[in-house]
Chain A
Amino acid sequence: MTDLLPLAVAVPLLAALLVTALPRQAALLGVLGAAATTLAAGAVLTAVWLNGALTADLGGWGVPLGISMRANGFAAALLAMTALVALATSVYATGYFADSPKAVHFWPLWLLLWASLNALLLAADLFNLFVTLELLGLCAAALGALTGSADAVKANLRYLLVGLLGSTTYLMGVALLYSAYGALDIALLAEHIAAGGDENNAVDAAALTLMTVGLALKAALFPLHFWLPPAHANAPAPVSAALSALVVKGAVYIIVILWLELFASVATASAAMVLGLLGAAGVVWGSWRALRAARLKLMAAYSTVAQIGYLFMFLPLIAATPPGPARDNLFAALVLMALSHGFAKAGFFLAAGLVQQQAGHDRIDDLGGTAQQMPATTFTIGLCGSALIGLPPSGSFIGKWLMMQGAIEAGQWWWIVVLLIGTLLAAAYTFRVLSRAFGLEPTPLRFVTDARSEIPALMLALTAVGVLGLAAGPLWTLLGLGAGGAA
């Protein structure tokens, strides 16, 4: 069974090589590769579901010498979300890039990005996390600049440099830890740190700070989010979807591991509070800028800053809640919010891309006719928007419900105020778009105009709204297996 973990990385890698070798067949091979990768991710998910956390040692060298991989419930959930989002995006891309010379460059980079994200989620030591993070950042910046416009190149060059700064800062933290403990494996290090006692406190704190700051830069935590909106807004739609829904989550994933697993014994509640407050500031600022944004994709990008903020608001709540079902609920809600945002934001960007292609621009104030002529796409934007707002029956509604419950139980009522402001602003920016769809334009002829592009986005939206909101229960079972830090 352990061969599954390398498979989830090897399959997209192989597909990336194939599309590079046979560029004429890139779209076909790309979709086949996407399907195969999804199957591999599904296999990992099933195995974790059935057997609990998995580990694999490449080449037979065990910890601490070899490269090892692991998959717990958290990683498996994100892996599965990545697979579904990336599969839908791949199908969409065959339509989006049809007859475009950009396709030749898109497919290899896209599959490489997927492979590095999978490798990141399955990495079992801090150095592999660095390598995969670096690779992810490179692919993402290259894909983001694919349109070749001056704005896109400028934004993504900045994204690349910021990313390098972030991962270097992270690496310094890793180096500190390695010099103190002589280990990089996460599980092993966690034991050392827990047993380390007081003399290593300064090292731990310095390492945690460096790593968190570096990752916060990559995760676009307020006020380090400045690079995100232009980079995400100027990328081609399928790339924007992947950047906002998936790539940012990679950095968030590592931060969550650091705070809830690796440094669980030394991370203080007040430090978590700082992250939470920055997250709250991100919620308010990101939502506000989204409301003021003139362009649809820029709005979606600012909304990502806000949604990432929610994830950080869980950290102080988890720190303030004693271990038990209440804490488990908060952790599960964090994951649920991350998953819902992944599906919803990807669906949103894909739909926005269709609107942009149809209208030739994405200025919100002039979108009326286009939105009304594409009912399925507008419907997708509406569904994704309701998940971003956190309305039922979306997964983020359950997430927000549990967050409010946790905030009341922990006596930290101020998070509820932030949640209220964020929700109302999200409603305002979503309906600013949707209200354009009810104009005096002629009636559209049919619901779906272009199935290949519209259906994948709609499916993502329905997953965020229907599936995650009404059947989130299995997530608890899945996380219960491997949520080391939360249990």
Chain B
Amino acid sequence: MNEPWPLSALLPGAILFSSLLPGVFIFLVKEESHRLRTILNLSGAILKLFLVGFLILGVYEGQLFQSRLTIAPGLELVLHADALSVLFVTLSTVLWLITTVYAIGYLEHSPNRSRFFGFFSLCVSATVGIALAGNLLTFVIFYEILTLATYPLVAHRGTPDATRGAKIYLAYTMSGGLVLLIGAVWLRTLTGPVDFVEGGVLSGMPASMEGQLTIIFVLLLVGLGVKAALVPLHGWLPQSMVAPAPVSALLHAVAVVKAGAFGIVRVVYDVYGVEYAASLGLLGILAAAASVTIVYGSVKALFEDGLKKRLAYSTVSQVSYIALGASILGPIATIGGMVHLVHQGIMKITLFLCAGNYAETLGVHKVSQMDGVGRRMPFTTLAFTVGALGMIGIPPIAGFISKWYLGLGAVEAGQSWVLLILAASTLLNAAYFLPILYRAWFRPAPPQWPREHIFKTRFETMGALLWPPVVTAVLCLVAGLLAASPFSPLEWARLIAEREYGL
């Protein structure tokens, strides 16, 4: 262990507060103070980026970052940064900055912006809290706060549809949260405080408790599976598509869905320990749930005409790659699952931001309306193409790396049936994405767009809307092309796998 850095115990807390405090102040900002709100938003996001930079370096060097707060005897709030937290923190911090810029452009002149950005910041703070949670109690606390902070964002538009979508979202996530809570409390009564430790903490439990531990695993999986949209707990996700585009982007790429998937990864690796979970036969349950979800989501996506709905079902399917990676014993599959946490995030956010651009600029909401959008909005469509091809798994885009490692890991673990799932999913991905690309690039544009909005700019749409998806599309390419360079998502996932398996 190296010499500890000064103030290293404060860093996790500082990262949390760098979005929480601006969020609180944004609530108090007057609606018309556009500039002040933007300054608060961006300064928080940029400060967080810097702090996370320090965190990456420190964790790479093997520094220990931990802050503890005793809530009550035996109940501690622990913020702790290990390699896995850094992966998720970095993803959410980078994408938060990009989505904030996008949201500022997207919501220009729309009502209730202070409320929106306040909850937006709280939502990201909760996500970072989930990433940095050092024990199960802390995880549960931030997981529930995330539910609360997201509700106003889903309901933001105030239309009857939005109210209904938000209600369904809440019913699912609140019930899931309770199931998770029961699992967490039960586990705590068996073992005492459940700290997240690389390699797991339960392998020493007596054999007589295996039955209880299996039930608890299922409870935790159900609780987390609601947010991770595991079939049949995914019903809320397509409904919450009524939210504004930046919220959908954040929900699908960073916050809610990812929080569930991240939780599953935490439980498998850092609570049960992947080898112990395998010995109890728990990985089989997870693998089955993930496989069913992957295929089911893709099939549903095939039949959706609404662009955002199709993307939503694609999320249902793609997020389960992460769970699939966690369910296969062996470091290579682990790398595949972990790296997909990042890759799915940057690809999906690209797709959603582009979908938002089509809706805002042209009024295009459906796949069937997308004929010829490539010529009207070339940059956006280029970004969309990169995201879509990445989802299919075409090299050299990031998604290819994930699928490659997942497949390799499955073969190494002797579970070749996973290849069938991957192949089926890839074919289905192609079947629902390629027609969109064909329409966008090769079909002639209609004489008139559903609701065109001309911005005073020399580009196809407003700058704040155009650049974020272009940037994330470039990130998708870079993450794939430079996967072997240090500090790439892949190399970081490799670091995590080494530490989890004690290699």
Contacts and interface: CB of A to CB of B under 8 A. Distances in A.
A469 B138 CA distance: 12
B163 A405 contact: no
A435 B166 contact: yes
A404 B180 CA distance: 13
A424 B178 contact: yes
Interface string B166-209: 11001000110010011001101100000000000000000000
B158 A439 contact: yes
Interface stretch (A207-215, A273-281, A390-398): A390-398
Nearest to B73: A476
A476 B72 contact: yes
B182 A443 contact: no
Contact of B163 (A402, A438, A470): A438
A379 B159 contact: no
A409 interface: yes
A62 interface: no
B451 interface: no
B74 interface: yes
Contact of A398 (B71, B115, B152, B167): B71
Interface stretch (B53-61, B141-149, B263-271, B279-287): B141-149
B483 interface: no
A42 interface: no
A423 B171 CA distance: 12
Interface in A395-411: 397-398, 401-402, 404-405, 408-409
A401 B115 CA distance: 31
A375 B178 contact: no
A435 B178 contact: no
Interface stretch (B27-35, B98-106, B410-418, B452-460): B27-35
Dominant secondary structure at the B interface: helix
Given A379-B27, A435-B163, A435-B167, A473 B185 contact: no
A445 interface: yes
B166 A438 contact: yes
A332 B29 CA distance: 39
A463 to B, nearest CB: 15
A334 to B, nearest CB: 13
A446 B114 CA distance: 9
A447 interface: yes
A416 interface: yes
Contacts of B75: 398, 401-402
A439 B156 CA distance: 8
B158 A440 contact: yes
Contact of A404 (B145, B152, B181): B181
B70 A473 contact: yes
Nearest to A403: B185
A427 B174 CA distance: 8
A386 B147 CA distance: 11
Given A392-B140, A438-B155, A332 B189 contact: no
Q: Report which residue of B137, B156, B185 has the largest number of chain A beta carbons within 10 angstroms of its beta carbon.
A: B185
Contacts of A424: 174-175, 178
B77 interface: yes
B73 A471 contact: no
Contact of A405 (B142, B152, B166, B185): B185
B312 interface: no
Q: Report which residue of B71, B151, B170 has the largest number of chain A beta carbons within 10 angstroms of its beta carbon.
A: B71
B141 A405 contact: no
A66 interface: no
A404 B185 contact: yes
A441 B77 CA distance: 39
Contact of A329 (B27, B73, B140, B181): B73
B162 interface: yes
Contact of A325 (B73, B111, B174): B73
Contacts of B30: 445-446
A226 interface: no
Contacts of A398: 71-72, 75
Nearest to B185: A404
A412 to B, nearest CB: 13
A475 B141 CA distance: 20
B7 interface: no
A130 interface: no
B156 A438 contact: yes
B503 interface: no
A332 B145 CA distance: 24
B368 interface: no
B112 interface: yes
Interface string A420-452: 100110010001001100111111111110000
Contacts of A444: 31
A10 interface: no
B1 interface: no
Contact of A447 (B28, B162, B170): B28
A472 interface: yes
Interface in B73-100: 73-75, 77
Given A420-B178, A473-B73, A476-B73, A375 B27 contact: yes
Contacts of B70: 473
B69 interface: yes
A441 to B, nearest CB: 8
Nearest to B143: A392
Given A393-B145, A431-B167, A470 B71 contact: yes
A48 B357 CA distance: 63
B153 to A, nearest CB: 10
A105 to B, nearest CB: 37
Nearest to A435: B163
A329 B167 CA distance: 35
Contacts of B142: 392
Interface string A360-400: 00000000000000010001000000100001110001100
Given A386-B148, A391-B148, A435-B155, A401 B185 contact: yes
Contact of B158 (A409, A423, A431, A438): A438
Interface in B1-54: 27-28, 30-31
A336 B148 CA distance: 22
Contact of A443 (B111, B152, B175, B178): B111
A470 to B, nearest CB: 6
A137 to B, nearest CB: 34
A445 B31 contact: yes
A53 B56 CA distance: 51
B219 to A, nearest CB: 11
A406 to B, nearest CB: 9
B69 A470 contact: yes
Nearest to A409: B189
A401 B189 CA distance: 11
Given A332-B72, A470-B71, A375 B181 contact: no
Contacts of B178: 420, 423-424
A470 B167 contact: no
Contacts of B144: 391-392, 397
Nearest to A399: B72
B159 A408 contact: no
Given A401-B185, A473-B70, A473-B73, A438 B175 contact: no
Contact of A392 (B145, B162, B174): B145
26 contacts: A329-B73, A391-B148, A392-B142, A392-B144, A397-B141, A398-B75, A402-B72, A408-B186, A409-B189, A420-B178, A424-B178, A431-B151, A438-B156, A438-B166, A439-B158, A445-B30, A446-B31, A447-B27, A469-B71, A470-B69, A470-B71, A470-B77, A471-B69, A473-B70, A473-B72, A475-B72
Given A336-B72, A431-B170, 17 more contacts: A332-B72, A375-B27, A386-B148, A392-B145, A393-B145, A402-B72, A402-B75, A427-B170, A435-B163, A438-B163, A439-B158, A443-B112, A444-B31, A445-B31, A471-B69, A472-B71, A473-B71
Interface of A: 325, 329, 332, 336, 375, 379, 386, 391-393, 397-398, 401-402, 404-405, 408-409, 416, 420, 423-424, 427, 431, 434-435, 438-448, 469-473, 475-476
**Those 3 A-B pairs whose CB atoms lie nearest each other, nearest first:** A438-B155, A392-B141, A443-B111
